[in-house]
Structure 1
């Protein structure tokens, strides 16, 4: 009986690990005017959200007033490595239609207007 319980518990643990969303973790944004950030992607309900964890410029790490703010908002996985939700652009304080595509340790992120017809994109790389 103890072996059955132990086996069931181990099975659930392995299944829980296998079911973790592959986009979770820390990502480095594409540099913009020499500055970039580390975004911590975490579950937020059934979706994924990303908060600004660290910021860097030509002089190294600095404390931005945007640290802790949510940049990737309610990205819902489509099951094929793509996600749909919203993104916040700190430079103009606007929220856009967001799309992400995961490919290994690369994450293509787009912020779009006009129903997704006009998009700006960045390629992020996995930190951990």
Structure 2
């Protein structure tokens, strides 16, 4: 019985891991630019593809299961903040914070 429970738990956890929302891909930012998110080492790099700052890496996030943490850079001010991203379907909520108190959130859309 114990082996059956362990096998069931393993299959359920594998199903949840498979159902995780993918972060990688092309996203339309809140300002209308296109950003691409792809693997870079053990993390995911966020790079602008269009607009005034095209080609600039503006973030690096790590995580799994639809929730990611790392750093986000405001390309206009060239300031880096602690950040996070949460994927839900075709939406990505990007959040940048100063001292984990003053935060700003943007919603990006998958292209």
Q: With the length of structure 1 as denominator, give the TM-score of the two structures.
A: 0.68
Q: 1:53 and 2:49 equivalent?
A: yes
1:76 to 39, 62, 71: 62
Compute the displacement of 1:71 (Å).
1.1
1:118 to 102, 106, 109: 102
Q: Residue 11 of structure 2 corresponds to which residue in structure 1?
A: none
The aligned length equals 94
Please list every run of 5 or more consecutive structure 2 residues that lacks an aligned counterpart in the other structure.
Answer: 1-17
Q: Runs of 4 or more off by more than 6 Å in structure 1?
A: none
Separation in 2, partners of 1:93, 1:23: 24
Compute the displacement of 1:81 (Å).
1.1
Separation in 2, partners of 1:111, 1:91: 14
Please list every run of 5 or more consecutive structure 1 residues that lacks an aligned counterpart in the other structure.
Answer: 1-17, 56-63
Separation in 2, partners of 1:81, 1:117: 23
2:82 to 97, 101, 121: 97
